[in-house]
Amino acid sequence: MKKYKAISQNVLDYPSTMSMYEKESLAAEAKLRVNKPSRDGSDMNETKVAVEKLQRIQELWRELGRTESSAPGYETLLKKIRVLSAEYQELVDAARKPTGSK
């Protein structure tokens, strides 16, 4: 399987053979990389945290894909994905806010 880089914020720019989840994940990662770091580096750290969180969510989705829905750990994986996704969404939303508004 070929590993694609997050180069575009538009999901339509990625191959049609990719799932919509993969396209949206790469587009979100590209959006985070667009943000310019502040002079103190805090924005860069937030971006790094968000990218790491996104990568963890992707790992959990892959693990979930290998797990039977009747397996004991299936629901636990779903809960972890939901929690991390909510945290990731908060980071993305915070990155979208105009500078100076908190």
| pLDDT values of the chain reduced to their tens digit, one per residue, 102 residues | 567 777 777 777 777 787 888 888 888 887 776 655 555 555 566 778 888 888 999 999 999 899 999 998 899 999 999 998 888 888 888 777 765 555
* pLDDT (0 to 100) of residue 72: 87
Q: Is the pTM of this model over 0.75?
A: no
Both tokens of 88, joined, read 């990731």
Give every CB contact of residue 94 below 8 A, 6+ residues apart in sequence.
46
* pLDDT (0 to 100) of residue 68: 92
CA 12 from centre of chain: 17
* pLDDT (0 to 100) of residue 14: 74
Within a 10 A sphere around the Cβ of 61, how many other Cβ atoms? 16
Q: How many alpha carbons lie under 13 Å from residue 82 in its C-beta half-sphere? A: 6
* pLDDT (0 to 100) of residue 31: 76
Cβ atoms 34, 79 nearer than 8 A = no
CA 102 from centre of chain: 22
Q: What span, in angstroms and rounded, lies between the C-alpha atoms of 60 and 39? A: 34
* pLDDT (0 to 100) of residue 43: 56
